[in-house]
């Protein structure tokens, strides 16, 4: 367990409703109580982190107890801010009568597909890069799997994109330099009294600005990608229920994570029925559960697993979270701490 908490970043993912937030919350509480300054971040657009801790958490880091802070990223607010910045710089370049046009166009951009994800990713990348100074451990309570996979693959896609754009700028600059070799000698033209009117406007400052924006982007994406794919820094925990659909989806998730080289460390099998259930209905469910459990054992044989039973009451407040957290920590401790081994399916 110590090994899990010695990472800098832990992602908790899985299908919707399997218990990601509960697991992430319990882990965060355990980490905080072991003395690590912990930040738990919810990236699900429909936040429930605050509900579990019974506190209002917003788009700002909120204290949830000793060593523990929570944050619910609001991608809409992030995107709003980003677009406001662009608006400002665009308005400094166009005539005032164009302001309405600028507003209209950029407001449309805010609703473009991908804007929210990009804004969310931006905030996550910033956190991963700079929260190190304030926190020992970052726990991300992610949105349902498909969304998260896309999010985690963005640094790669966008890294490639900024590489490509910089390549274009590079070729353009080389051609520009070549142009200078063949260039007109304005001094001499003036000496001969020729028309020197078609002097090119200086492109250098524009090029410089474009270059620095793109380079900044690339640095950020590549840094995020480096952190995500380093198994000594990042761990990904998959939460699953002993049911058909979560098993199927987890298989796909695992394949995708593998494709993007994101190390999956362990699996939390949540909501198992207790062994002493009574009644015909529950007994039948338990028989079915045994089958699925066997399937999980087989399919995800190489992942370290933690089993959690269905509780007789809702998860609500720190006490219940601690109870769950102790269960997880106990089971991880039993299995000779091989959580540090990067495991693939």
Partner 1 sequence: MKWAGIKKKLRWLAYLATEAYNAPYRGAVARAKREQDDLFMLLIFSEMMGVPNPATYYTLELQPIMLEKFHEWHKRAGMEHSPLDDFRCC
Residues lying near partner 1 in the complex (CB under 8 A) are found at 79, 82-83, 85-86, 89-90, 92-94, 98, 101, 104-106, 108-109, 112, 114-115, 118-119, 122, 157-158, 161-162, 165, 168-169, 171-172, 175-176, 178-179, 182-184, 188, 192, 206, 209-210, 213-214, 217
Residue indicated by tokens 């304005």: 186
Beta strand 304-309 with 264-272 is: parallel
Q: Choose between 193 and 312: whose C-beta lies nearer to partner 1.
A: 193
Q: Choose between 37 and 184: whose C-beta lies nearer to partner 1.
A: 184
SS3 201: coil
Name the phi and psi angles at 143, rounded to 5.
-75, 170
Nearest to 235 by CA among 277, 274, 264, 259: 264
Query: Cβ 128 to partner 1, closest distance in Å?
Result: 18
Query: Cβ 199 to partner 1, closest distance in Å?
Result: 14
The 8-class DSSP code of residue 292 comes to: H
Bin 279: left if φ > 0, else alpha if -120 < ψ < 50, else beta.
Answer: left
Q: Does an H or E element contain 289, and which? A: helix 280-299
Query: Cβ 142 to partner 1, closest distance in Å?
Result: 20
Query: Cβ 258 to partner 1, closest distance in Å?
Result: 22
Q: Choose between 180 and 313: whose C-beta lies nearer to partner 1.
A: 180
Query: Cβ 254 to partner 1, closest distance in Å?
Result: 24
SS3 14: strand
Structure tokens at 271: 């909501």
Query: Cβ 146 to partner 1, closest distance in Å?
Result: 16
How much is the CA Rg of the chain, to the nearest whole Å? Answer: 26
Q: Choose between 204 and 344: whose C-beta lies nearer to partner 1.
A: 204
Q: Choose between 213 and 245: whose C-beta lies nearer to partner 1.
A: 213
Nearest to 229 by CA among 254, 256, 260: 260
321, 29 contact by CB (below 8 A): yes
Query: Cβ 110 to partner 1, closest distance in Å?
Result: 9
Structure tokens at 163: 């590489």
The 8-class DSSP code of residue 45 comes to: S
Q: Choose between 184 and 322: whose C-beta lies nearer to partner 1.
A: 184
| Concatenated DSSP letters of 237-287 | EEEE-SSHHHHHHHHHHHHHHHHTTPPEEEEEEEEEPPTT--SHHHHHHHH
Query: Cβ 156 to partner 1, closest distance in Å?
Result: 11
Helices (H) and strands (E) in the chain, counts: 12, 8
Q: Choose between 213 and 301: whose C-beta lies nearer to partner 1.
A: 213
**Buried b or exposed e, range 272-293, using 16+ CB within 10 angstroms:** bbeeeeeeeeeeeebeebeebb
Query: Cβ 217 to partner 1, closest distance in Å?
Result: 6
Q: Where are the beta strands (DSSP E) in 179-223?
A: none
Q: Choose between 148 and 265: whose C-beta lies nearer to partner 1.
A: 148
């Amino acid at each position: 367990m110590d090994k899990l908490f010695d990472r800098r970043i832990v992602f908790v993912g899985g299908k919707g409703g399997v218990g990601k937030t509960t697991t992430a919350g319990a882990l965060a509480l355990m980490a905080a109580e072991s003395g690590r300054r912990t930040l738990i971040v919810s990236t699900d657009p429909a936040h429930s982190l605050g509900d579990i801790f019974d506190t209002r958490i917003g788009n700002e880091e909120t204290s949830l107890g000793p060593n523990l802070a929570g944050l619910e990223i609001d991608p809409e607010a992030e995107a709003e801010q980003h677009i406001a910045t662009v608006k400002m710089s665009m308005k400094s370049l166009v005539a005032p009568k164009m302001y309405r046009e600028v507003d209209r166009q950029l407001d449309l951009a805010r609703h473009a597909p991908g804007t929210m994800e990009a804004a969310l990713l931006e905030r996550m990348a910033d956190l991963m890069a700079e929260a190190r100074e304030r926190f020992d451990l970052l726990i991300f309570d992610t949105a349902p799997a498909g969304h998260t996979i896309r999010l985690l693959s963005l640094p790669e896609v966008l890294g490639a994109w900024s590489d490509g754009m910089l390549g274009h700028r590079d070729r353009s600059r080389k051609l520009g330099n070549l142009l200078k070799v063949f260039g007109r000698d304005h001094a001499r033209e003036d000496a001969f009294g020729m028309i020197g009117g078609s002097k090119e406007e200086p492109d250098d400052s524009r090029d410089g600005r474009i270059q620095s924006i793109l380079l900044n982007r690339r640095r950020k994406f590549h840094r995020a990608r480096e952190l995500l794919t380093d198994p000594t820094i990042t761990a990904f925990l998959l939460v699953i229920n002993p049911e058909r659909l979560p098993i199927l989806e987890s298989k796909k998730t695992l394949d995708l994570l593998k494709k993007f080289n994101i190390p999956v460390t362990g699996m939390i099998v949540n909501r198992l029925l207790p062994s002493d259930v009574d009644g015909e209905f529950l007994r039948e469910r338990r028989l079915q559960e045994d089958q699925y459990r066997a399937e999980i054992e087989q399919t995800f044989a190489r992942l370290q697993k933690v089993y959690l039973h269905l509780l007789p009451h809702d998860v609500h407040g720190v006490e219940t979270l601690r109870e769950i957290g102790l269960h997880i920590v106990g089971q991880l401790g039993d299995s000779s701490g091989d959580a540090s081994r990067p495991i693939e399916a």
